[in-house]
Amino acid sequence: MAQLTFIDFSGTAREVQAENGSTVMEAAIKNGIPGIEAECGGACACATCHVYVDDAWTDIVGKPTSMEEDMLDFAYDVRPVSRLSCQLRVSDALDGLVLRTPERQA
């Protein structure tokens, strides 16, 4: 289990518990986190589960694969800390992870 914190565009923080092996996107959808749409259902095919990884966590979370980079091209306001949450696999290492959701998914 890992505790994840999602901070939305207005600054409101929401904490959720995520099971190891699930994706961050799944945990967000299960808990009704606003700002994550996941139109394609987790196939890395839509870029509507775009999140910004908190600076303190970028090394632990790591960089997107080239397929994910390609998909991030479809997102809006992509930054160096951008990731698609459907590609982030939950593990104990991510316990405490802080993510920000963009103003809107493109």
Partner 1 sequence: MNDVVKTDALIIGAGPVGLFAVFELGLLDIRAHLVDILPKIGGQCAELYPEKPIYDIPGFPMVTGQGLVDNLMKQIEPFSPEFHLSEMVDSVTAIGTPEAPLFRVNTDAGTEFEAKVIIIAAGGGSFQPKRPPIPGIDAYEGTSVFYAVRKMEQFRGRNILIVGGGDSALDWTLNLQPIAKRVTLMHRRDDFRAAPHSVEQMRSLVASGAMDLKIGQVTGLEGEGSILSAAICRDAQDAEFRVECDTMLPFFGLTMKLGPIASWGLNLNENLIPADTEKFETSTPGIFAIGDINTYAGKLKLILSGFHEAALAAHRAHRYVYPDKKLTFQYTTSSSSLQKKLGVGAAST
Residues 83 and 68: beta-carbon distance below 8 Å: yes
Q: Which stretch binds partner 1 (CB under 8 A): 12-20, 25-33, 65-73, 84-92?
A: 65-73
Among 12, 76, 89, 93, binds partner 1 (CB under 8 A): 76
Binding mask 30-59 for partner 1 (x = CB under 8 A): ---------xx--x-xxxx-----------
Helix (H) or strand (E) holding 69: helix 66-72
Q: Residue 77 and residue 85: Cα distance in Å, rounded? A: 15
Instruction: Give Dmax (Cα) for the chain.
Output: 31
**Chain positions contacting partner 1, by CB under 8 A:** 39-40, 43, 45-48, 69-70, 72-74, 76-78, 80, 103-104, 106
